[in-house]
Amino acid sequence: MAIYFQFPFCHQVCKHNEDKTSTFAEILKFMEQKRTEVNELGEFGLIKHLTHSFENKNATSIKGVGDDAAIIDAGDDYLVVSTDLLMENIHFDLTYAPLKHVGYKAVVVNLSDIYSMNAIPQQITFSLAFSNRFSVEALEELYAGVKLACDHYNVDLVGGDTTSSLKGLLLSVTAIGRVPKSQVVYRNTAQVNDAICVTGDLGGAYLGLQLLEREKQVFLANPNMQPQFDNNTSLIKKLLKPEARKDIIEALAKADILPTSMMDISDGLSSELMHICAQSNVGCTIYEEQIPIFEDTYNQAIQFEIDPLNCALSGGDEYELLFTVHPDELEKVLDIEGVSHIGNVRPASVGKHIVTKGGNQYELKALGWTHF
Amino acid sequence: MAIYFQFPFCHQVCKHNEDKTSTFAEILKFMEQKRTEVNELGEFGLIKHLTHSFENKNATSIKGVGDDAAIIDAGDDYLVVSTDLLMENIHFDLTYAPLKHVGYKAVVVNLSDIYSMNAIPQQITFSLAFSNRFSVEALEELYAGVKLACDHYNVDLVGGDTTSSLKGLLLSVTAIGRVPKSQVVYRNTAQVNDAICVTGDLGGAYLGLQLLEREKQVFLANPNMQPQFDNNTSLIKKLLKPEARKDIIEALAKADILPTSMMDISDGLSSELMHICAQSNVGCTIYEEQIPIFEDTYNQAIQFEIDPLNCALSGGDEYELLFTVHPDELEKVLDIEGVSHIGNVRPASVGKHIVTKGGNQYELKALGWTHF
């Protein structure tokens, strides 16, 4: 029995509600009978379970829970709204992440969701809760990072909330973007035979995290040890100060290419590709040799005795874009610097596969990040 | 020296940033020299301090930090965006607040900010972080409250984020509303001679909190004791399940009355009235005998040996509306049920005063709620 329902007099309050569906005594009884753990459902299953009974009532609510961002009607344009919670010691570790980077990254990860709908972010709200461990100077560093991101991405800080927490730092960012109605790109509209593309390179942020965690342990054991990064700071930078792919969205617009579906790779390539396939009701084949892995990433993975391909398929926190285009557009897309063609959309009946360098075909598994 | 800056190798990462303003070694040095406590600035001072260097760059950002909500251009309408963080054991206590009420209230407090700009809320995002203390059934209760609020206020849940926390429950709600451009009401536009009005009655939520805290202590000392509420559940309901004044916004529109300024009373009447005065550059006189205090509130305050007037002036968590109207509109406004005329706007040079029932005039002090 969870402690938060132990107060026996609360049913007196519940009785005064207009809502007759449950008195507190009934809730109490119910809670004693049953306790389902959240990890039985997983993150996406949980959200689906908790929100399936909600129905949109306003004509201005174009798209709700289920894509990278929500969509709201705004005349000729759609407004695209995305929100993220970032918790200390779950999403960031202040042992090695400077507060300025934490502020920068908190903004960037939200902007990435806006870009992945093919929209241009214009506003953010930034809320924080912090314990008395944080001084004004520490918060100034955090906001310096927020400002750097706002300036770099041409976004305005228009609101937020500030409160105390009993322990640790907690950030909540909501980003708002804008896109002409005809240009919005969803994740459920990939078509069979479309080319599957990704931007940048994959797996670096995951290895950056492994490096920092290793050196953190060394440091905790002996604070006088100097860290060993072996010139791998590019991996660490990818983790601590990622960028959203504004440049790609601009290049696609300039080349007059509208992806048929798109999302960002915050939870890992495999996991995100499986979302696109499931929601578009299609399958896919991707090819190991076409997945972009940088030399630094490859070498560090080998040093850690991890398969570099697994880093690229399952490593989260990347913020690269995964998108599909009509096969006729492929040549034009590949003229954009930093875009790789990794495979093709197939009929759902064919399934979802990866073909290795050795020519073997395996079923693609979602090994994305899970918070639970 | 705060622990989050102790990692000596982070400057290696900082050196790789484009931003040359501070290496980590410099930050470290700076942090050692200086530590300003947040409570030296207060909540509003802190926000001002941290955000003063941010400038709006997008023409669609109409109003940013400083009102109840941000304003974004959306064709014929403005979109109004408000966000709140709610932390367990700071904003709510699950010892006596059922999760369904917590979910309901988390939505309502945000909608109240939207109404206070004279806008109609249409969408919310609802994010939560929770520890493994919370079961699926507990979260279902929370979402049942969210859904009840969404249905009651005709608002759509369009997004959110779900993650784990190391300790406790944390909610972040962003509400989005809509208002024709000519109908938006700010807090910095009160005019001398305007009538100052409030809705409902004040002080009840504060006394509800005192009652629940008293009974919590009794319960903690002896779990078999039954709570003593003396039929004061109306006060408790005001705290645990407040309503936003949708009805008033609708009645004002129907009567064709546009307030000259407006905000909600989340931090207490005195504090909010002083915000309107400061931002509108005006003074005010309000009258004790015109401040609406219900009999339950009055009697309970006397029983607690607290001045009922102080409960009404300083009690937070109310979500009633405070607004000003042109004196010619006063008669029409007072036809709306639940509106009280409590005083008048005066020139700034006159100052801000309250006149007691005995005819004495005192300077108004902001004794609003502070989280720090």
**Do the chains contact at B372 and A95, CB–CB below 8 Å?**
no
Set of chain B residues whose Cβ sits within 8 Å of the Cβ of A91: 163
Answer with the one of A137, A160, A183 that is the final residue of a domain: A183
**Does B67 reside within a domain?**
yes
DSSP state of B9: T
B50 interfacial to chain A (CB closer than 8 Å): yes
Q: Which of B35, B82, B130 sits opposite A137 (nearest CB)?
A: B35
Set of chain B residues whose Cβ sits within 8 Å of the Cβ of A163: 85, 87, 90-91, 371
Q: Which of B21, B135, B161 sits opposite A2 (nearest CB)?
A: B135
Chain A residues 181-220 within an 8 A CB cutoff of chain B: 215-216, 219
Query: Which secondary structure element, helix H or strand E, spans residue B216, and what is its range?
Result: helix B204-221
Predicted pLDDT of residue B1: 21
Q: Which of B85, B233, B234 sits opposite A129 (nearest CB)?
A: B85
User: Do B178 and B199 sit in the same domain of this protein?
Assistant: no
User: Do A277 and A333 sit in the same domain of this protein?
Assistant: yes
Q: Return the minimum-mean-pLDDT range out of A38-47, A271-280, B287-296.
A: A38-47
User: Do B218 and B304 sit in the same domain of this protein?
Assistant: yes
Chain B residues 122-141 within an 8 A CB cutoff of chain A: 122-123, 125, 127-130, 132-141
Q: pLDDT class for A367, splitting at 50, 70, 90?
A: low
Domain that holds residue A321: 195-363
- Nearest CA-CA distance, residue A143 and chain B, Å: 6
**Do the chains contact at A13 and B89, CB–CB below 8 Å?**
no
Contact B158, A63 (CB under 8 A): yes
Provide the pairing of β-strand A361-363 with A156-159: unpaired
Ordered per-residue pLDDT tens for chain B, 372 residues? 222 333 434 443 343 343 433 444 454 555 555 788 888 888 778 888 999 999 999 999 998 876 678 999 998 899 999 999 999 999 999 988 899 999 999 999 999 999 999 999 999 999 999 998 899 999 999 999 999 999 999 999 999 999 999 889 999 999 999 999 999 999 999 999 999 999 999 999 999 998 888 888 888 888 777 777 767 788 888 889 999 999 999 999 999 999 999 999 988 999 999 999 999 999 999 999 999 999 999 999 999 999 999 999 998 888 999 999 999 999 999 999 999 999 999 999 999 999 999 999 999 987 644 444
Predicted pLDDT of residue A273: 96
Enter the pTM of the model: 0.89
CATH number at residue B281: 3.90.650.10
**Do the chains contact at B128 and A36, CB–CB below 8 Å?**
no
User: Do A159 and A203 sit in the same domain of this protein?
Assistant: no
Q: Which of B13, B54, B147 sits opposite A237 (nearest CB)?
A: B13
Q: Which of B99, B135, B170 sits opposite A35 (nearest CB)?
A: B135
Q: pLDDT class for A43, splitting at 50, 70, 90?
A: confident
Rounded to whole angstroms, how far apart are CA atoms A284 and B49? 51
**Do the chains contact at A72 and B139, CB–CB below 8 Å?**
no
Q: Which of A41, A70, A166 sits opposite B90 (nearest CB)?
A: A166
Q: pLDDT class for A218, splitting at 50, 70, 90?
A: confident
User: Do A199 and A149 sit in the same domain of this protein?
Assistant: no
**Does B19 reside within a domain?**
no
Which residues are B262's β-sheet partners? B323
User: Do A70 and A148 sit in the same domain of this protein?
Assistant: yes
Predicted pLDDT of residue B30: 52
- Nearest CA-CA distance, residue A39 and chain B, Å: 9
Nearest Cα to A312, choosing from A270, A275, A359? A270
Q: Which of B27, B30, B74 sits opposite A79 (nearest CB)?
A: B74
**Does A14 reside within a domain?**
no
Predicted pLDDT of residue B63: 87
Q: Which of B10, B136, B237 sits opposite A36 (nearest CB)?
A: B136
Q: Return the minimum-mean-pLDDT range out of A109-123, A151-165, A205-219, B115-129.
A: A205-219
pLDDT over 50 at A94, yes or no: yes
User: What average pLDDT does this structure show over A307-335?
Assistant: 94
**Does A152 reside within a domain?**
yes
Sequence-ordered strand ranges (E) for chain B: 61-63, 70-74, 77-87, 120-130, 156-159, 162-164, 170-180, 195-199, 261-264, 282-287, 321-325, 339-347, 352-355, 361-363
B38 interfacial to chain A (CB closer than 8 Å): yes
**Does B3 reside within a domain?**
no
B21 interfacial to chain A (CB closer than 8 Å): yes
Mean pLDDT comparison of A62-66, A244-248, A267-271, A312-316, highest-scoring range: A244-248
Set of chain A residues whose Cβ sits within 8 Å of the Cβ of B61: 122-123, 156, 158
**Do the chains contact at B4 and A99, CB–CB below 8 Å?**
yes
pLDDT digits (tens, 9 = 90+) for A17-30: 434 434 444 555 55
Answer with the one of B183, B205, B236 that is the final residue of a domain: B183
B107 interfacial to chain A (CB closer than 8 Å): no
A19 interfacial to chain B (CB closer than 8 Å): yes
User: What average pLDDT does this structure show over A135-139?
Assistant: 92
Set of chain B residues whose Cβ sits within 8 Å of the Cβ of A216: 7
User: Do B282 and B205 sit in the same domain of this protein?
Assistant: yes
pLDDT over 50 at A87, yes or no: yes
Query: Which secondary structure element, helix H or strand E, spans residue A199, and what is its range?
Result: strand A195-199
Mean model confidence pLDDT for chain A: 87
User: Do A286 and A211 sit in the same domain of this protein?
Assistant: yes
Q: Which of B56, B71, B159 sits opposite A65 (nearest CB)?
A: B159
User: What average pLDDT does this structure show over A314-323?
Assistant: 93
Per the rule left: phi > 0, alpha: psi between -120 and 50, beta: everything else, B347 is beta
CATH number at residue A95: 3.30.1330.10
**Do the chains contact at A51 and B371, CB–CB below 8 Å?**
no
Which of A30, A31, A50, A122 is best to mutate for the B interface (most B CBs within 10 A)? A50
Answer with the one of B122, B154, B183 that is the final residue of a domain: B183
User: Is residue B288 exposed (0-12), middle (13-18) or buried (19+ Cβ within 10 Å)?
Assistant: buried
Ranges of H-type helices in chain A: 10-14, 24-33, 42-51, 99-115, 136-152, 204-221, 233-240, 246-254, 269-280, 295-303, 308-314, 330-334
Which of B6, B136, B220 is best to mutate for the A interface (most A CBs within 10 A)? B136
User: Do B172 and B219 sit in the same domain of this protein?
Assistant: no
**Does B214 reside within a domain?**
yes
**Do the chains contact at A64 and B157, CB–CB below 8 Å?**
yes
Predicted pLDDT of residue A65: 79
Predicted pLDDT of residue B42: 82
User: Do A143 and A271 sit in the same domain of this protein?
Assistant: no
Of residues A68 and A350, the one with the higher pLDDT is: A350
B47 interfacial to chain A (CB closer than 8 Å): yes
**Do the chains contact at A6 and B95, CB–CB below 8 Å?**
yes
Q: Which of B10, B64, B77 sits opposite A156 (nearest CB)?
A: B64
Number of domains chain A contains: 2
Per the rule left: phi > 0, alpha: psi between -120 and 50, beta: everything else, B179 is beta
- Nearest CA-CA distance, residue B18 and chain A, Å: 10
pLDDT over 90 at A103, yes or no: yes
Chain B residues 300-319 within an 8 A CB cutoff of chain A: none
User: Do A122 and A142 sit in the same domain of this protein?
Assistant: yes
**Does B325 reside within a domain?**
yes
Number of C-alpha atoms within 13 angstroms, CB side, residue A102?
29
3-state SS assignment for residue A118? coil
User: Do B210 and B175 sit in the same domain of this protein?
Assistant: no
**Does B244 reside within a domain?**
yes
Give me the interface pTM, i.e. the ipTM: 0.88
A47 interfacial to chain B (CB closer than 8 Å): yes
DSSP state of A139: H
Set of chain A residues whose Cβ sits within 8 Å of the Cβ of B154: 57-58
Cα–Cα separations (whole angstroms), residue A34 to A14, B147, B189: 21, 22, 54
